[in-house]
A and B are shown apart, each in its own frame.
Chain A
């Protein structure tokens, strides 16, 4: 599975306004344009997931993720924070690149892990590429992802 295949321009925010961990999760979830009850439910589960351990994988990347009853398919949103956010990373670095992933509770958990693994791998490569900070549009972002996948 390629990351570029599951990205949608309208679910990519290249200049996150959030300044805290809580705010960034909220801003990312908002990109999915779900109903208010679904949004609240997902935020609640994401917060619980963060209690279990930070979803930052270091190197300026975080991949908040969880499986939830309120989604029927895998949903992905991307956010870029120009100033970086304290996300309680294992390497204590500020996080500037966020990938939000939700997967349904029904279905194969193995498939969810495959998606998560692919995103984690691609996100780390992307975060090391200097061009990421110069990307101006969501389409350019997807183009860069595609280039790095080659």
Chain B
């Protein structure tokens, strides 16, 4: 997998964890199950560490997508970008270097990740 894509996926997952920990209703629901979400600072630190490993060009695209959508990577399932629900051109969708090369959706601009079935 493309190393920058690996970082972007890790960042996307961490951003989702941070959102979960900040959402009062989710936090309450998880708390009732016995899960305490206490150390948000550690997670923010992990996010910053990962962001610092992005190449400068990717970092600026990442910042734009994050600001615009709150998300940065869109999963591709059955040829559909799950960021904007538009079909990916088949030349890209069937390319052998999927996940090896960093592709962005031509419609929404999010980075693309082809999910294993």
Chain B residues bordering chain A, tally (CB within 8 A) = 34
Asked if B82 is an interface residue, CB under 8 A from chain A, the answer is yes
Q: How far is the CA of A52 from the CA of B16 in the complex (A)?
A: 12
A35 nearest in chain B by CB position = B116
Q: How far is the CA of A66 from the CA of B75 in the complex (A)?
A: 16
Assess whether A34 is in contact with B13, with CB atoms less than 8 Å apart: no
Give chain A residues whose Cβ lies under 8 Å from the Cβ of B77: 72, 106
Assess whether A41 is in contact with B13, with CB atoms less than 8 Å apart: yes
Q: How far is the CA of A45 from the CA of B35 in the complex (A)?
A: 16
1/0 per residue, CB under 8 A from B, across A37-70: the answer is 1101100110011011111011000010011111
In-complex Cβ contact of B16 among A34, A41, A63, A105 (8 A): A105
Asked if B1 is an interface residue, CB under 8 A from chain A, the answer is yes
Asked if B40 is an interface residue, CB under 8 A from chain A, the answer is yes
Asked if B95 is an interface residue, CB under 8 A from chain A, the answer is no
Assess whether B73 is in contact with A49, with CB atoms less than 8 Å apart: no
A142 to chain B, nearest CB (A): 22
Known A-B contacts A37-B1, A37-B6, A53-B35; A45 and B29 likewise in contact (beta carbons under 8 Å): no
Asked if A138 is an interface residue, CB under 8 A from chain B, the answer is no
Known A-B contacts A38-B116, A52-B17, A120-B34; A104 and B43 likewise in contact (beta carbons under 8 Å): no
- Starting from the known contacts A40-B6, A67-B16, A106-B75, 7 additional A-B residue pairs (CB-CB under 8 Å) come to A45-B17, A48-B17, A53-B36, A69-B13, A90-B36, A109-B26, A113-B29
